[in-house]
Amino acid sequence: MIFYFKYIKDNLHLVKHSANRKLFELVCEKQWLTWLGLAFERFIVKYAVYIAEQMGFGDEILSFGSYQKNNCQIDLVYKRSDKTYVICEIKYREDTIKSDIIPELERKISAFSVPRGYSVEKALICVHGASTELVKSEYFNYIVTIDEILP
């Protein structure tokens, strides 16, 4: 429905009457990857409990959701019973995620208020996985791909 209202509704006349084979590109192309990213993020948050189970801490979740404060937006944060926060970066890209993501996430983590006595783990949830360089950096505690979510 979101896709319909975003792209189809205002272009319904074109969709019904155009013979243009590149109509989709004309109507959607400039915003398509942004839309896919938001749709992917909504999908991940909707299935956050299942994804936590895939990462091995499904039974420890106390709460989860997005975080927005102090000019910082974190896609998904889990609070676990073992006094751990899992900060999740959700990325939709058509390629593997590279290590240039690290400074961006570090900035977000520094803006996140971690209570005394809590630790932080980091998760990357993406479509095509992480680059070899990013995996070797061992920066993320968890890297989850769409193949692991939808086997």
Model confidence over 84-95: pLDDT tens digits?
999 999 999 989
In degrees and rounded to multiples of 5, residue 27 shows phi and psi of -85, -40
Rounded CA-CA distance 140/129 in Å is: 12
Which pLDDT score is estimated for 30? 65
Please name which of 51, 58, 62, 66 lies closest in space to residue 118, comparing C-alpha atoms.
62
Whether residue 65 is found in the same domain as residue 13: no
Domain assignment of residue 19, given as a range: 2-41
Number of domains in the chain: 2
Whether residue 92 is found in the same domain as residue 137: yes
Whether residue 72 is found in the same domain as residue 108: yes
pTM, 2 dp:
0.82
Whether residue 78 is found in the same domain as residue 55: yes
Whether residue 86 is found in the same domain as residue 138: yes
| Single-letter residue type at 83 | K
Q: How confident is the model at residue 7 (pLDDT cuts 50, 70, 90)?
A: low
Whether residue 105 is found in the same domain as residue 130: yes
Whether residue 79 is found in the same domain as residue 139: yes
Whether residue 124 is found in the same domain as residue 95: yes
Q: Which tokens in the block code for residue 124?
A: 């990357």
Mean pLDDT for 11-20 is 63
Whether residue 104 is found in the same domain as residue 74: yes
Rounded CA-CA distance 14/3 in Å is: 16
Which pLDDT score is estimated for 44? 95
Whether residue 36 is found in the same domain as residue 72: no
Whether residue 129 is found in the same domain as residue 76: yes
Whether residue 111 is found in the same domain as residue 135: yes
